[in-house]
Amino acid sequence: MSNQGPDAFTTGPRTAPLKPDSPAITPIKPRRSRPAHPHPRTAARESAPLREGPELAPQVDAEAAGGDAQAVEGASQPHRADSPEPADGRRNDAESPPITPFMPGDRVRMPGGKTGTVRSADGTFVSVRTDGAGGRGPRIRSCRADRLISLDEEEREEIAKLEDAEIVDRWPRIRPEAFRGIAGEVVELAGPHTEADPVAVLVQFLVAVANMIGRGPHFRVAGTEHHLNLFACLVGATGSARKGTSWDVVRFVLRPVDPSWADARVRNGLVSGEGLIHNVRDRRVERKEVVTGSGANRSRSVEAVMIDAGVDDKRLMIVEAEFARTLKAMAPRGNTLSDVLRLAWEGGTLSGMSKHAPETATAAHLSVLGHVTREDLQRHLADEDMANGFGNRFLWLCARRSKELPGGGNLEGVDWGPVREEIEAIRAFAANPTGTDDAPVLILRRDDPAEELWRRMYTELTADKPGLVGNLLSRAAAQVMRLACIYAVLDRSPVVSLPHLEAARAVWDYCEASARYIFGDAHGDPDAERLLAALGQAPEGLTRTEISRVFQGNRTSAWIGNLLGRLLSEGTIHRRGGADRRGRAQERWHAGRSSGPRA
């Protein structure tokens, strides 16, 4: 009797192991091979996954087969992917069922759109457990492998499509023409020593130096005087945009030039129209009856009596580091702050309505700088103020930190002497442009080349722009001309020339792009909040495909790219390289600012 082990198998498929006490064994003839393409039901019933590995490979013992090596050699053997030819040597490639690319657990889509999970795969046919739908539970179905679509492959195609959509960094960019003259020199000297945005330093310098110069220089449009006072608001994505730092640089440069202005005429706390008027109020004199003598010698007369000495220096530079507080102060009914600010930008006479202490301010030279986060601005700036002329008197600027300086920089180590001397010379020119005793007021005008350029610009700047953002941009022509005049004064020129207009237009284009960036999605951004919430709940981050699912697949790849680009610019999200479950490279998005370099 042959000594058969329990692991001895017959040469035919699907037979039980031989028992040790079995009689002499005659080799079993190989079962007739199945057709290359059996009926699906037959395949579902008979197919079973082929497992590889030495412990499960069919074993044939020559001694158990009665020493008939030929019989063993001729027995049918399961075809393996790593076998160059079938064991029987008679089957060709056309007859051999292809090795399916699917593995148990793979997600697939079947003809007709049904989806499911692969249970087993054997050659041509794959057994799929379909997902339940329409009130029906899952079912087991068999399908030809070449008619299945891998959902992983479908997902890869979707990823490729999404990655083809460029992430649009919509953060505004300013042209180099804006950094001309002394303003550009200030930005260049301060740049290595501050984390502030260069544009924030530039525009705040323009606003501040124009206020320090005073009300004298102006240009005229149809008989109306336009003085060089500006309102600007720096909008940061977060509180760490270094908006206040940029003002500190400007104040550091200008204070030695005019300490009285820096110490007494730079104020904050803008909460009411009456309070603003009080800081630039005129002297108040009242005529009162005065009685002298007594009895027959008693006489009455009317004399002018000073009630309030008023304010002699009508320059006022308001710097609101918490501009959201100002916006909230304007909200209650009856607050006149918005009305007074609008009139102050025009340079008109300001008057309070209080019957107890009526105050008036004439010839005031008022400039405003506000600092606010985008979230606070969208929350507190009412649609009414965007539409009624309050918003369009401001230059809206995006600002963000330019770099990290753990040591804080060293502004004191810079030689600011020549810059301050030039600013002092600019002040003297603005006060007396001719240098003569009569000291005429500086009235600026455009030269011929600038006039030609202005005519072309004017058509573009005054074109109708729809929506709330259009309302914010509707004073483009006046803003550009004020900026151009400031650049001219900084060059100590009574004439606005081409470089001044080009610099002013570069600043305005940045402001317009900023306004569209800040207000383009109206008030609040529920889509951004929705994505940030999803990222906050995903410690491993989300792929673009998963981000698409956050919006139920109802957003285009370009739209997702724009949203990711904006949030990436703001520093509220970051991306890292990663890998999917099969080890393939994959980009993943995470909430918050990256602690390392971006992927």
Q: What would the DSSP string read from start to end of 180-235?
A: -HHHHHHHHHHGGG--S-HHHHHHHHHHHHHHHH-S--EEEETTEEEES--EEEEE
CA dihedral sign of residues 317, 401, 575, 558 = positive
Cα-based angle 392, 394, 399 (whole degrees, multiple of 5):
125
The pLDDT score that the predictor gives to residue 147 is 77
Asked whether 218 and 195 are in contact (CB, 8 A), the reply is: no
Secondary-structure class of domain 151-178+525-599 per CATH: mainly alpha
- Say which amino acid occupies 37: H
The pLDDT score that the predictor gives to residue 348 is 87
Structural tokens at position 110: 């079947």
Contacts of 369 (CB under 8 A, 6+ apart): 204, 207, 208, 231, 232, 233, 234, 247, 317, 318, 319, 320
Helix (H, G, I), strand (E, B) or coil at 397: strand
Same fold, 151-178+525-599 and 179-519: no
Q: Which residue ranges make up each domain of the chain?
A: 1-91, 98-147, 151-178+525-599, 179-519
Structural tokens at position 250: 């400007």
The pLDDT score that the predictor gives to residue 27 is 45
Asked whether 206 and 343 are in contact (CB, 8 A), the reply is: no
Asked whether 148 and 65 are in contact (CB, 8 A), the reply is: no
Each residue's pLDDT, cut to its tens digit, for the chain (599 residues) gives: 444 444 444 444 444 444 444 444 444 444 444 444 455 444 444 444 444 433 433 344 444 444 444 443 444 444 444 444 444 444 444 444 455 677 787 777 778 777 788 888 776 778 888 876 555 667 888 888 777 777 665 555 555 555 455 566 678 999 999 999 999 999 999 999 999 999 999 999 999 999 999 999 999 998 889 999 999 999 987 666 566 789 999 999 999 999 999 999 999 998 899 999 999 999 988 888 878 878 778 888 888 888 889 999 999 999 999 999 999 999 888 788 999 999 999 998 998 766 666 899 999 999 999 999 988 898 888 878 888 889 999 999 999 888 888 888 899 999 999 999 999 999 999 999 988 878 789 999 999 999 999 999 999 999 887 777 888 999 999 999 999 999 999 999 999 999 999 999 999 999 999 998 888 644 346 788 788 888 888 888 899 889 998 998 888 888 888 888 878 876 678 888 766 666 666 788 998 766 554 34
The pLDDT score that the predictor gives to residue 223 is 81
Any alpha helices (H) in 437-552, and if so which ranges?
A: 448-461, 467-472, 476-490, 498-519, 526-536, 544-550
The pLDDT score that the predictor gives to residue 17 is 47
**Residue with token string 């490729």:** 160
Burial state string for 552-588 with b = 16 or more CB within 10 A and e = fewer than 16: eeebebeebbbbbbbbbbbbbbbbbebeeeeeeebbb
Secondary-structure class of domain 179-519 per CATH: alpha beta
Q: What is the pTM of this model?
A: 0.64
